[in-house]
């Protein structure tokens, strides 16, 4: 959900989304996964909607985490 600058490995600022997200899921004593990226949520989307969409996307990549606990979630404007 984010774009890298091929020359530096740094994110390409023009291709970044409006928000930066970080999500950590854990199956206690079995697996833990943290992913992050940038994303522009659709107009009218709530923070809960965004969390569920991002969690669903992570679980689609790693189905074994479907019943995992959320350890951490952050969604903030991607602007300093």
- How many structural domains is the chain composed of? 1
Range of the domain at 68: 41-80
Is 59 part of any domain?
A: yes
Is 12 part of any domain?
A: no
pLDDT given at position 15:
83
Which residues lie closer than 8 Å to 67 by C-beta, 6 or more apart?
27
What the block records as the tokens of 65 is 């985490």
Instruction: Please state the pTM of the whole predicted model.
Output: 0.78
State the Rg of the chain over Cα: 14
| Mean pLDDT per 10-residue interval, the chain, length 80 residues | 47 78 96 95 96 97 96 96
Is 55 part of any domain?
A: yes
Is 53 part of any domain?
A: yes
Residue 55, CB-side half-sphere exposure with 13 Å CA sphere: 19
Please check whether residue 72 is in contact with residue 37, taking contact to mean a CB–CB distance below 8 angstroms: no
Sign of CA dihedral 16, 20, 25, 31: positive
């Amino acid at each position: 959900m984010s774009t890298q600058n091929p020359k530096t490995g740094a994110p390409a600022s023009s291709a970044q989304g409006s928000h930066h997200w970080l999500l950590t899921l854990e199956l206690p004593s079995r697996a833990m996964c943290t992913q992050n990226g940038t994303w522009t949520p659709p107009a009218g989307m709530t923070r809960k909607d965004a969390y569920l969409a991002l969690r669903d996307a992570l679980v689609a990549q790693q189905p074994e985490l479907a019943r995992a606990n959320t350890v951490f979630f952050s969604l903030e404007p991607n602007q300093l």
